[in-house]
Amino acid sequence: MSTILPILLVIQVIVAVAMVAVILLQRSSSDGLSGLGGGSGGGNSLISGRASANLLTKTTSFLAVIFMANSLAMATITARSSSLADKVIGGIEQENVTNNPEEGAKEIEPVVPVSE
């Protein structure tokens, strides 16, 4: 499972950058970067204003769903792997205490240097 987490992380970054680009292309009250895709939908534009808005809105929704699903998948994988790591660390600590019962029971006091 450790190999899938970096793949999901790369997908997450790509989706986030794509979502930022699509959001910036949408028409706003100040027009943002929407002029790059054909402007206000005049006669010589690539796609009309309404079709552009519908396409960008659907693309934003699609990217947001992918972003959330990917986030949940990464969180689930991380939670499962951290519980496994906690079990391993707990087993190591238990092994150290059983091998050295005097060391495990005795508290070590911190040493503070005294200046003279």
Is residue 106 in some structural domain? no
Q: Provide the pLDDT confidence category of residue 54 given band limits of 50, 70 and 90.
A: confident
Residue 114 lies in a domain: no
- Distance of alpha carbon 42 from alpha carbon 53, whole angstroms: 14
Residue 107: inside a domain: no
Mean pLDDT score, 34-48: 52
Q: Tell me what the mean pLDDT of segment 96-104 comes to.
A: 55
Q: What residues make up the domain containing 82? A: 4-98
CA distance 14 to 71: 13
Q: Is the residue at 19 inside a domain?
A: yes
Q: Is 69 left (phi over 0), alpha (psi -120 to 50) or beta?
A: alpha
Please check the confidence at residue 104 and state whether its pLDDT lies above 90. Answer: no
Residue 48 lies in a domain: yes
pTM: 0.55
